[in-house]
Amino acid sequence: MENRRLFLFLLSTMTFLWLWSNFLAPPQPEPDAQDGDAALIAEDNPGADLSGDQSAGQLTAAGDAAADPPGAGAAGSAVTAQPPVDPVNPAAGAPTLNFPDYEATAPLLGSLQADSGYGLQVQLSSIGASVEGVWLTSPQFRDLQNPNQQVQLIGNNLSDDRTFTTAVSEVDALLQERGVTLEMVHWKLAETGSDQSGGRVVFEYDSPDGRLRLRKIYQLPRSEQVGAVLQTALRNTPSLYTLSLTLEVVNLTESPQVVNYELQGPVGLLLENKEHTYKYQDIHLEFPGGKPVTLNISTLQGYCDQIDHDLGEPASLPELKTKLREDYEWTEPPRYAGVDVQFFSAMVAPLPKIPVDNAEQPEEVRVDWLDRTYPMLIGPDLREQPEPFFASRMVKGLVRAFVGRAVDPHTAELSFRFASVPVTVPAKQSVSHSYAFFVGPKRRELLDPAPFEAGQVLNYGWFGPVARVMHYLLDFFYSLGLPYVLCIISLTVLVRGCIFPISKKQAIMAARQKELQPELTALRQKYADDQQKFARAQMELWRKHNINPLSGCLPVFLQLPILVGLYTALNSAVDLRGQHFLWITNLAAPDALFRLPFPLPFGMGYDFSILPLCTVGLFLVQQKMFMPPATTEQEVMQQKMMNFMTLIMGVFFWHQPSGLSVYFIASSLWGITERKLLGTGRPVAAAAGGAASVVVVESESAGSAERGRKDAQSPVQTDKAPRAPGFWQRLMDAAEEAQRQAESKKNRDGRKDRKK
């Protein structure tokens, strides 16, 4: 038995050795010069681990690191160079990837101290070497919800997106093995510091294959002024609100490298007063040559609805982002691109390199490294949230009219991305691209200068020059030491005083027409069956008393640019934000006396305001005082319609800033006082027996209208002789004469036809 076991053991052992030597043992590589070099290096580096396939990569990395100058490697990780590729077995020559693991950091640039000299405080993050948040330093800009804190303009989004994260396709392809991207990993904080001129922070990241080193350099300027001079500089110096970013790509190899990158624009711009604001987030771009482009929420909402219609079902948010990138890309490098709200803006401008040795600079230097710019939908979804399935369309409409939407799609957040062309980085050299990032209030002094020159962001509309003048006057009154409420009232008095001659003429003409109502009533009764005869008699009456019916419309057209410009200036004045008056805590928003426990109808929100009610009430008083009494059912209906439209205007005024309501209240009080001081105008007619009549006789035989005689019982008395007819009067006379001639020709043709 024992011999049998020994024999089986020897047989199995010999069989295993034969199988191992012929089939299972791996082939042994022949020694070459590379192994000899490895042995020599191992003698110089006794602590090096030469086991397995890792030794060659580590030794090559050590040799490259020894050849590179000091500081070339990243702290905490070894840069692995690419070993020679074996043509027989390419996988054996693949580079060893070393994924750096940097610690999380969050350096600060700037300060929130009012006397620090900074205009911003910027919170940076090592995640993607990005901008986490931006705050304004000026004491004027407090948070509306918490007045003890400064307002935060950037970083208010609920998503994981961050400003200035960078995607490099060549590096992201390597990081895909770990399931991350360059925008998600931590970068190394390589440098930080500040001096009298400002602060500086530098982030670095080495690619896992050791070919590229990425650097981001943030710089924020600082003013050396103090006190009142510093506050003036914060109002007029755009550089104090501009963070500069330099993206640098360093080639660590001996051969040129090609890089493609995308840069994320501003994310999380603050949207204040969501319940009442008239302006949501918009994307503004302006290209060389002054070609502006604006993409707003309403346009994107219609675009999303069209995508859903084409797909036959609601598209997902990633699908919308992809389609948005394909359909809304701008292939021309912009001069700047930005996102703005009612009072604040965040803009990015690529800064081209201007040769120093070129004495003759071109008028406008364009960047050559941007391939396209496309918008991004950060979220939430632009479409409305689903409603209960049992609610019919009528019920949904009533709920929306009286309550409003639960989730307003207009509050969605927008941004954009810059995509570069393929950038070639020479061997052992670097390429850098610079950007200017403006974050601040929308003031003309800050937006007009280079490099942005973004005057269109102010949204002054058609009457931009007039609005700029009104804005300048508002700032002038404030410089005199007046509070902004008195500045608005002073501006209203100044504007109404300048147009007083026009409004005076309009008031006198309206008073004359009101006094002629008895005569017009008599004419209407006399020619009740013939409207053409009544119209001719009315024109004759107006001509006799030198009344131009178009004179009431002409002053309105002349005042329209001034009134619209003043309205626009007050509606976009960032200085009204946070200003107090009585119970009003913010002149740039409705006065909101108190908050109701239930929503008001027609989407008016939960706030109850007093100033819109006062504004509409004064409008109704003006109509009651100055409109002539209605004498026909048609005029009664017209006056009822005007009163109804005034009430409808109250719904729109409910969402307007209280500063605008102060303007309209002051303007209405000025108009009422003006009419009272002017009185009813000079008497245009005095009738014996309480009524005056003018008779126009139609000559049937001649077929033309002739002037009638005045009633001897009611002579018309005027304070002076009628003036010579003006241009409008002559125009109406010519039109009336042409109408008479046409009627005469028609009568003659009719008589000829009857004779035949």
The rounded percent of the chain whose pLDDT value lies above 70 is 70
295/410: higher pLDDT: 295
Residues in the chain: 756
pLDDT at 51 over 50: no
Q: Is the same domain home to 332 and 473? A: no
Give the tokens for residue 11. 């047989």
Is 42 part of any domain? no
Do 521 and 395 reside in the same domain of the chain?
Answer: no
476 and 335 in a common domain: no
Residue 348 sits in the same domain as residue 473: no
pLDDT at 2: 47
Q: Which of 459, 490, 513 is the last residue of a domain?
A: 459
Note whether 61 and 136 are same-domain residues. no
pLDDT, position 277: 79
Beta partners for residue 550, in sequence order: none
Once rounded to an integer, what is the mean pLDDT over residues 388-392?
41
In the structure, what pLDDT confidence band is assigned to residue 380 with cuts at 50, 70 and 90?
A: low
Asked whether 626 and 513 are in contact (CB, 8 A), the reply is no
pTM, two decimal places: 0.71
Is the pLDDT confidence value at 603 over 60? yes
d(CA 662, CA 493): 12
Q: Which of 384-393, 476-485, 671-680, 683-692 comes out lowest in average pLDDT?
A: 683-692
Work out the average pLDDT over 387-400: 41
- On whether both 251 and 343 belong to a single domain, the answer is yes
Q: State the average pLDDT over residues 479-503.
A: 86
Residues 448 and 583 in one domain: no
Q: How far apart (Å, rounded) are the C-alpha atoms in residues 301 and 623?
A: 40
Whether the predicted pLDDT of 281 surpasses 80: yes
Of the residues 417, 440, 459, which one is the last residue of a structural domain? 459
Q: 628-638, pLDDT tens digit by residue?
A: 666 667 777 87
Judgement on whether residues 494 and 583 belong to the same structural domain of the protein: yes
- What CA–CA distance (Å, rounded) separates 418 from 384? 29
Task: Return d(Cα 97, Cα 119) in angstroms, integer.
Answer: 43
Residue 223's nearest CA partner among 215, 232, 214 is 232
Residue 389 burial (10 A CB sphere; 0-12, 13-18, 19+): exposed
Token look-up 């890309």 returns 329
> Does residue 437 fall inside a structural domain?
yes
Indicate if the pLDDT at residue 93 is higher than 70: no
How open is the CA angle 363-367-370, to the nearest 5 degrees?
155
**Closest by Cα among 632, 621, 430, 408 to 524:** 632
| Same-domain check for residues 158 and 258 | yes
Contacts of 460 (CB under 8 A, 6+ apart): 467, 468, 565, 568, 569, 572
Average the pLDDT over each of 397-401, 632-636, 645-649 and give the range with the smallest value.
397-401
- Residue 292, pLDDT above cutoff 70: yes
Query: Is 669 among the domain residues?
Result: yes
CB 371 within 8 A of CB 420: yes
Considering the domain boundaries, does residue 95 fall inside one?
Answer: no
Tens of pLDDT along 423-452?
999 999 999 999 999 999 998 889 888 888
Q: What pLDDT score does 88 carry?
A: 44
DSSP, collapsed to helix, strand or coil, labels residue 727 as helix
Inter-axis angle of helices 658-678 and 554-571, to 10 degrees? 150
Residue range(s) defining the domain that contains residue 59 = 55-87
Q: According to the model, what pLDDT value does residue 581 have?
A: 86
Contact predicate 593/609, CB 8 Å: yes
Question: Is the domain of 539 the same as that of 415?
Answer: no
Residue 403 has a pLDDT of 39
pLDDT score at 129 = 94
User: So what's the pLDDT on residue 556?
Assistant: 66
Say yes or no to pLDDT of 84 above 50. Answer: no
In a domain, 264, yes or no: yes
pLDDT reported for residue 253: 92
DSSP notation for 508-558: HHHHHHHHTHHHHHHHHHHTTT-HHHHHHHHHHHHHHTT--GGGGTHHHHH
pLDDT at position 69 is 36
Give pLDDT, residue 731.
55
pLDDT at 460 over 90: no
Average pLDDT of span 246-256:
94
Let me know if residue 728 belongs to a domain: no
Cis peptide before 26 (omega within 30 of 0): no
Q: Are residues 382 and 443 in the same domain?
A: yes
Q: What is the pLDDT of residue 339?
A: 93
Confidence check: pLDDT of 30 > 50: no
| Confidence at residue 573, expressed as pLDDT on a 0 to 100 scale | 85
Q: What is the arithmetic mean of pLDDT over 31-44?
A: 40
pLDDT at residue number 628: 66
Q: Does residue 573 share a domain with residue 532?
A: yes
Distance of alpha carbon 173 from the chain centroid:
35
Tokens of 641: 């319609």
Would residue 174 count as lying in a domain?
A: yes
Closest CA to 435 of 527, 560, 351: 351
pLDDT of the residue at 61: 34
Average pLDDT over the chain, rounded to whole? 75
Which residue, 661, 678, 695, sits at the end of a domain?
Answer: 678
Residue 754 in any domain: the answer is: no
Examine the pLDDT at 18 and tell me if it is beyond 60: yes
Q: Indicate if the pLDDT at residue 167 is higher than 90.
A: yes
Question: pLDDT tens digits for 328-369?
Answer: 888 888 999 999 998 999 999 999 876 555 545 555 567 888
Q: How many domains does the chain have?
A: 3
pLDDT of 389 over the 50 cut:
no
CATH for 224: 2.70.98.90
User: What pLDDT sits at residue 174?
Assistant: 92
